[in-house]
Amino acid sequence: MATVTAEPTTAEPQVANAELEAAAAAADRRRGFLIALPAYVYLLLFFVVPFLIVIVYSFATRSATGATRLSDWNLRAYEKLFDSLVVEIVWRSFWIATITTLICLLFAYPFAYYIATRRPAVRNALLVLVMIPFWSNFLVRTYAWRFILGSDGPIGSLTEALGWEPIRLLFTPAAIMIGLVYGFLPFMVLPLYAAIERLDWGLVEAARDLYADGWTAFRKVTLPLTKSGIVAGSLLVFVPSFGAYVTPAILGGSKDLLLGSYIVTQFQQARNWPFGSALSIVIMLIMLGALMIRRRAAAEDV
Amino acid sequence: MSDYAVELRGVTKRFGDVLAVDAVDLAIEDGEFFSLLGPSGCGKTTTLRMIAGFDYPTEGSIQIHGEEMALQAPNERPVNTVFQSYALFPHMTIEENVGFGLAMKKVPKSEAAERVDRALDMVQLAHRKGTTPDKLSGGQQQRVALARALVNEPEVLLLDEPLGALDLKLRQQMQIELKDLQERVGITFVYVTHDQEEALTMSDRIGVMSGGRLLQVGASTEIYERPMSRFVADFIGDINLIPARVSGSDAVELAGAVTVMARGVDSAAGGRWLAIRPEQLHLVADGEATPSGMNQVVGTVVHRVYFGDSYAYDIDTAMGRVDVRQENHPGLALHDPGSRVTVWWNPAVSSLVVD
């Protein structure tokens, strides 16, 4: 019964050694690279190359007629960044983006907290509600705000009906901020929700057990442990707000120019491509700085 | 007012339609190591959480040293908790973790620092006070959690399966350390566990819970040796439960028309079982003499399993299959499967239990 027959094998089984292990690891890396290749190609063609073009153009020369000559490389575009008008525009964009971010944070945190502490079914329904605005076109929604904020819109009519001076919001920085908060609020809610949902509520109980009242437990435990969500959400709102073009173009006035619109002006009416490129690079650098802050925060976050 | 450290009266907790804790009455003495023992979902953790203040009872009274606390917030109760997952604050150092309660109570900084040092000394972790919890092993984290609670000198320390996440060796070592510590600090410990061995080795008294009810409260020996219900007998340790019927004073008729002597015959009511621990059963080869005054029944060995320190036998008898444990020692007579044996036991070591 117990006869052992040697099975004929096609390949000799190999005993592992360092050389074979290295070969296997190399094969593994090759496979990984092939899988990522389409994404690499995409990033190279549509991100790296255009960005290099922008960098090159920022050192180019603008001719008197507004054509861009790729010769006589110079730093004039960068010198122009320090014009008081430009500094003012960058500064205004910066504080509008900052206030927008803070308002979003103030609205989104309690809401995200509320969602994260519901039962799963309610939670999912509320998350869908957060996403619903994305189902319709951003431009259309922003135009709707133009009506709401306009002097013959509901706010204007109401203040007028009450016999007050009609509040004029449209074409003010306030209108831009309302539009930006409206547009970017979901980007704040979602990371905050993710962070709060992940929170170990046992830690909050531990704080309460160690004599912290509800508010102190929130300040000492909940808030610091959801910092990753606060940082992520703030970046997701700040970065697009800083360079926003559509919302300021529709809701903002012509006199409070913001960075996004100013860059568009350089490429169109002003025909100063080198300067427009330099401005774009400034935005990129500021965003890069913001991302580095985030990486530091994420590294601290255990 | 009562002298009890913790006193529960008619404490009931409902979560929607689920009755988690059902009219529990319990009095825990000052300085006692009290364990709530039961399977998961029996209501022991909910009971502990109600004492801590994380859940409020649906009905009933919870007093801590005579003061009504049932609806007080956790931070207003003179108790501290050691959590199952330790719940150490990951964004704080060990020192900040241990000092958290003192800071909240606004204990002066210098005094707080001194007390934190002492608490960390007590758990032999003073040298790690600058690190964060994630750098510590499970056993060390457990010790920090203990120090963080004890540094506040609570009137009652609540422990929710604090050793559950540790491996067996460390758990056994920590059991001894915990018991030692409790005796040293003299604080009342209320300890929740599903591990009967843990409860038996550490507790002054044990309360066994099942289905939200507190079934029996007693000293470890009482719970183990004189269980009152089938559940308590079965949950703690191994036990033989043999269907039984009282047939006279001190006499019990078992399945298979085996009549034996038993104690506690008249105290039991309703459905009855004769409960005997496997290690209380003795074996001799059939035909050999047994001591007089003992119960005995003849049977056949079905299995014999070697455990190193003991042998476990399965024996088929007229009253059903019984488990027998024999401590291993040189010269122990072994019985092979298929051989006929006499199982005998002292009537005093069996108990009659209700369903």
DSSP secondary structure string for all residues of B132-185:
-GGGS-HHHHHHHHHHHHHTT--SEEEEESTTTTS-HHHHHHHHHHHHHHHHHH
Q: Do the Cβ atoms of B104 and A209 come within 8 Å?
A: no
Cβ of residue A213 closer than 8 Å to a chain B Cβ: yes
**Two tokens at B126?**
């003073």
> What pLDDT shows up at residue B269?
56
pLDDT-derived band at A6 (thresholds 50, 70, 90) equals low
> What pLDDT shows up at residue A302?
45
Q: Do the Cβ atoms of B52 and A209 come within 8 Å?
A: yes
- What averages of pLDDT result for each successive group of 10 residues across chain B (355 residues)? 85 95 95 95 95 96 94 95 94 96 96 95 91 92 94 95 86 89 92 93 95 95 90 91 81 79 61 87 90 90 94 93 93 92 90 82
Query: Which chain A residues have a beta carbon less than 8 Å from that of B101?
Result: 210-211
Packed helices A173-198 and A120-131: angle between N→C axes, nearest 10 degrees? 150
Q: CA angle at residue B283 from B282 to B288, to 5 degrees?
A: 120
Which residue of A211, A213, A226 is the best one to mutate when testing the B interface, meaning the one whose CB has the most B CBs within 10 A? A211
> Rounded to the nearest 10 degrees, how much is the dihedral formed by the CA atoms of A49, A55, A61, A63?
60
**Residue A71 half-sphere exposure, CB side, CA atoms within 13 Å?**
3
pTM of the model: 0.82
Q: How close A225 comes to chain B (CA, Å)?
A: 7
Q: Do the Cβ atoms of A205 and B87 come within 8 Å?
A: yes
Q: How close A195 comes to chain B (CA, Å)?
A: 15
ipTM of the complex: 0.84
Q: Do the Cβ atoms of B83 and A207 come within 8 Å?
A: no
Give the C-alpha separation, B346 to B279, whole Å: 12
Query: Which chain A residues have a beta carbon less than 8 Å from that of B100?
Result: 207, 210, 212, 220
> What pLDDT shows up at residue B270?
54
* Residues in a beta bridge with B342: B284, B298
Cβ of residue B43 closer than 8 Å to a chain A Cβ: no
Positions of E strands within B194-285: 205-210, 213-219, 240-248, 251-254, 258-261, 272-276, 282-285
Instruction: Give the A:B interface size as CB pairs under 8 Å.
Output: 63
Classified as helix, coil or strand, B216 is: strand
Cβ of residue A212 closer than 8 Å to a chain B Cβ: yes
> What pLDDT shows up at residue B331?
87
Query: Which chain A residues have a beta carbon less than 8 Å from that of B90?
Result: 203, 225, 302
Q: Report the residue of chain A nearest B80, measured CA to CA.
A: A209
pLDDT in tens, A81-133: 999 999 999 999 999 999 999 999 999 999 999 999 999 999 999 999 998 88
Q: Which of A299, A261, A268 is nearest to A283 (CA)?
A: A261
Cβ of residue A224 closer than 8 Å to a chain B Cβ: yes
Give the C-alpha separation, A12 to A4, whole Å: 19
Q: Do the Cβ atoms of A208 and B90 come within 8 Å?
A: no
Q: Do the Cβ atoms of B75 and A206 come within 8 Å?
A: no
- Sorted by sequence, the CB contacts under 8 Å of residue B44 that are 6+ apart come out as B36, B37, B38, B192, B193, B194, B209
Burial label, A114 (beta-carbon count in 10 A; 0-12, 13-18, 19+): middle
Q: Give the pLDDT mean for A263-272.
A: 89
> What pLDDT shows up at residue B1?
47
Q: Is the model more confident about A181 or about A172?
A: A181
Q: Do the Cβ atoms of B74 and A208 come within 8 Å?
A: yes
pLDDT-derived band at A33 (thresholds 50, 70, 90) equals very high
Query: Which chain A residues have a beta carbon less than 8 Å from that of B73?
Result: 208, 213-214
DSSP letters spanning B298-319: EEEEEEEEE-SSEEEEEEEETT
Estimate to the nearest angstrom the gap between the alpha carbon of B30 and the chain centroid. 19
Q: How close A302 comes to chain B (CA, Å)?
A: 7
Which stretch of A202-211, A252-261, B234-243 has the lowest confidence by average pLDDT?
Answer: A252-261
Give the C-alpha separation, B96 to B90, whole Å: 10
Classified as helix, coil or strand, B227 is: coil
pLDDT-derived band at A9 (thresholds 50, 70, 90) equals low
Classified as helix, coil or strand, B215 is: strand
Q: Which of A257, A244, A112, A122 is nearest to A186 (CA)?
A: A112
Query: Which chain B residues have a beta carbon less than 8 Å from that of A205?
Result: 54, 74, 81, 83, 87
Query: 10 Å Cβ neighbour count for B125?
Result: 20
Q: Do the Cβ atoms of B75 and A302 come within 8 Å?
A: no
pLDDT-derived band at A64 (thresholds 50, 70, 90) equals confident
- Sorted by sequence, the CB contacts under 8 Å of residue B70 that are 6+ apart come out as B11, B50, B56, B57, B60, B61, B62
Query: Which chain A residues have a beta carbon less than 8 Å from that of B85?
Result: 200, 202
**Two tokens at B308?**
């190193």
Residue percentage of chain A with pLDDT more than 70? 95
Q: Do the Cβ atoms of B101 and A210 come within 8 Å?
A: yes
Q: How close B90 comes to chain A (CA, Å)?
A: 7
Give the C-alpha separation, A210 to A112, whole Å: 26
